[in-house]
Chain A
């Protein structure tokens, strides 16, 4: 029964899909988008010709396809939200949104979806918008190949690039977000796929998500964001092949994990971050085959983490490979490559014969007294570290990699 209903529905939508196209432009019979929406039947296509459209807040409650030709500009005049959508089966494609209003009471956005489903937002451009794309209580939405750019100077003057609240089954692919507060923001978003996005120069986090289970992140790049990427209060997240590059500053993290469980972090590269990964209260995560290169701290593993497996990663040229704030060891660290490892491999199985202790004494001292960083790389510190290696007093004795790799893994 359901199947028949589905088929009828599909046939109906097909016939509707071939319905009329309404052309909007200064020289056309319809000059305003609002008029066109009022005229249109469900399933119609609105084709917007190039030009500047200043129509305040446009409310869309019909399943329409809205396409732009040559990027027509929709101007919010620094006052309005531009599109508010509450419908199913709509497409917004090829438009350019500029200058939405700024408000600290309402989250004004260029495109806001409220309780909508089956929406596609494709190849749009956003300039100087407060929130770019804002989804609330929606599902099955595709957000692809959009470019969002903002030039805010302060965090309170700007909203998030792509903001999702209480959504599921969302695909976010090949978008570029620059200069917003959070590049991509997720709260209560489940079963979603985030791929090939580029998030750069955002004031707060490149990607910020909370309470968002069963999501997958692949091939994204997070660069130069104020505080890197934060992932909190979530379980079963997959993060694969992402790049976390140059998130630099006194409170910046490549990846901040807080209360994360049963997640997989594989094949990512952490390059030149103040802290590669900061982990707090996280359990049962697999951190494997990642590349930590030239970070201040490659991994800050707080003592509140347990049962994590950290294996087969490359740690190269980091100032400190690993620091922690306790002596209890509940995580498994094995078969990583550490460029500071000085052991030998007698039986030639490419695994070092003596364990490696990744925590340097000086790392521990600096963790307690940040001013002590001043003596970094002095002869004294070298001696202290050597002495500590021979006879651990300050650093947890059992925290070690029992089978360190002799050669770096080749992940390319």
Chain B
């Protein structure tokens, strides 16, 4: 399995996309530092990147990579190797390379400027989001044999979680604003990994936004050990369920 991972890794490096991605993150982070010396503000700007670009890149790159290495996968499966281990190797190689790119791209400038502590949350949530969206992309890839369709589905996941879902949530809040909505919204947030990541980061960075009774409620919840455990385990769940389901599909699928 490690050998397969190694080959996929080389393959990924050869496409150079991941290097561009790292460079993009590096340039962005350095640019934010140039514009504003305040670490807090840099982290806030980066947060937008983490919430938008990281899922998008993860999703697109993963689906394209999966279909580009379709022949490689077929070849591998002709050998006496387990389907699961091939699939898992694919996942691990893609996920680690994206995570590494993210950590280097964002973490390196911060390490240079000596602000390592202030981005620990950002790094962790960024890694989580990468893992979640790589999982979702694999899920969409095994659903169909058509590359364009798979990319479409993967993009739809991204679009749904970063925009449509929030729109629905806002609609719920708007419609039922006469009722106590704290617990309901808290539950609804759990169904969207991007929202979950955003709230975790907000509580670390921009708590001034969370005011009033509602703010206090969320802060009490997410700020407590229980809340951290809850959100971390939910994000884990978001990493694991798509990958497990897609592994099932993949192992039974007629390639």
Q: Mark B62-80, 1 if CB is under 8 A from A, else 0.
A: 0000000000000000000
Given A368-B177, A372-B173: A377 and B48 interface contact (C-beta under 8 Å): yes
In the bound complex, CA of A148 to CA of B212 (Å):
31
Q: Which residues of A contact B177 (CB under 8 A)?
A: 368-369, 371
Q: Which residues of A contact B208 (CB under 8 A)?
A: 272, 274, 294-296, 318-319
Given A369-B174, A372-B173: A377 and B198 interface contact (C-beta under 8 Å): yes
In the bound complex, CA of A373 to CA of B209 (Å):
7
B214 touches A371 (CB 8 A): yes
Q: Which residues of B contact A381 (CB under 8 A)?
A: 166
Q: Mark A365-381, 1 if CB is under 8 A from B, else 0.
A: 00011111111111111
B202 at interface, CB cutoff 8 A: yes
Q: Which residues of A contact B244 (CB under 8 A)?
A: none
B195 touches A373 (CB 8 A): no
A375 touches B169 (CB 8 A): yes
In the bound complex, CA of A294 to CA of B48 (Å):
19
Main secondary structure of the interface of B (DSSP, over half): helix
In the bound complex, CA of A383 to CA of B163 (Å):
9
In the bound complex, CA of A357 to CA of B122 (Å):
31
A379 touches B52 (CB 8 A): yes
A371 touches B206 (CB 8 A): no
B31 at interface, CB cutoff 8 A: no
Given A317-B41, A378-B198, A379-B51: A250 and B213 interface contact (C-beta under 8 Å): yes
B206 touches A380 (CB 8 A): no
CB-based A-B contact count at 8 angstroms: 88
Q: Within residues 148 to 203 of chain B, which ones have a CB less than 8 A from any CB in chain A? A: 162-163, 166-167, 169-170, 173-174, 177, 181-182, 185, 189, 194-195, 198-199, 202
Which of B48, B163, B215 has most chain A Cβ within 10 Å?
A: B215
Q: How large is the interface on A (under 10, 10 to 19, 20 to 34, 35 or more residues)?
A: 20 to 34
Q: Within residues 28 to 71 of chain B, which ones have a CB less than 8 A from any CB in chain A? A: 38, 40-41, 44, 47-48, 51-52
B249 at interface, CB cutoff 8 A: no
Q: Which residue of B163, B173, B206, B211 is within 8 Å of A379 (Cβ)?
A: B163
Q: Which residues of A contact B206 (CB under 8 A)?
A: 319, 376-377
B162 touches A374 (CB 8 A): no
Q: Mark A317-337, 1 if CB is under 8 A from B, else 0.
A: 111000000000000000000
Q: Within residues 203 to 221 of chain B, which ones have a CB less than 8 A from any CB in chain A? A: 206, 208-216, 218
In the bound complex, CA of A7 to CA of B64 (Å):
99
In the bound complex, CA of A378 to CA of B169 (Å):
12
In the bound complex, CA of A368 to CA of B178 (Å):
11
B209 touches A250 (CB 8 A): no
A371 touches B173 (CB 8 A): yes
Given A376-B202, A377-B47, A377-B198: A370 and B167 interface contact (C-beta under 8 Å): no
| A263 nearest CB across to chain B (Å) | 26
| B223 nearest CB across to chain A (Å) | 14
A373 touches B47 (CB 8 A): no
Q: Which residues of B contact A274 (CB under 8 A)?
A: 208, 211
Given A296-B208, A371-B173: A378 and B51 interface contact (C-beta under 8 Å): yes
Name the residue of chain A whose CB is nearest to the CB of B199: A374
Name the residue of chain A whose CB is nearest to the CB of B41: A317
Q: Mark A348-389, 1 if CB is under 8 A from B, else 0.
A: 000000000000000000001111111111111111000000
B166 touches A378 (CB 8 A): yes
Supply 5 further A-B pairs (C-beta < 8 A) apart from A317-B41, A319-B209, A375-B166. A296-B209, A317-B40, A373-B209, A374-B189, A379-B162
14 of the cross-chain contacts (CB-CB < 8 Å) are A272-B208, A319-B209, A369-B173, A369-B174, A370-B213, A371-B214, A372-B174, A373-B215, A374-B218, A376-B202, A376-B210, A378-B194, A379-B162, A380-B163
Give residues in A with beta carbon < 8 Å to B. 250, 272, 274, 294-296, 317-319, 368-383
Among all A-B residue pairs, the 3 with the closest Cβ atoms: A380-B166, A296-B208, A369-B177
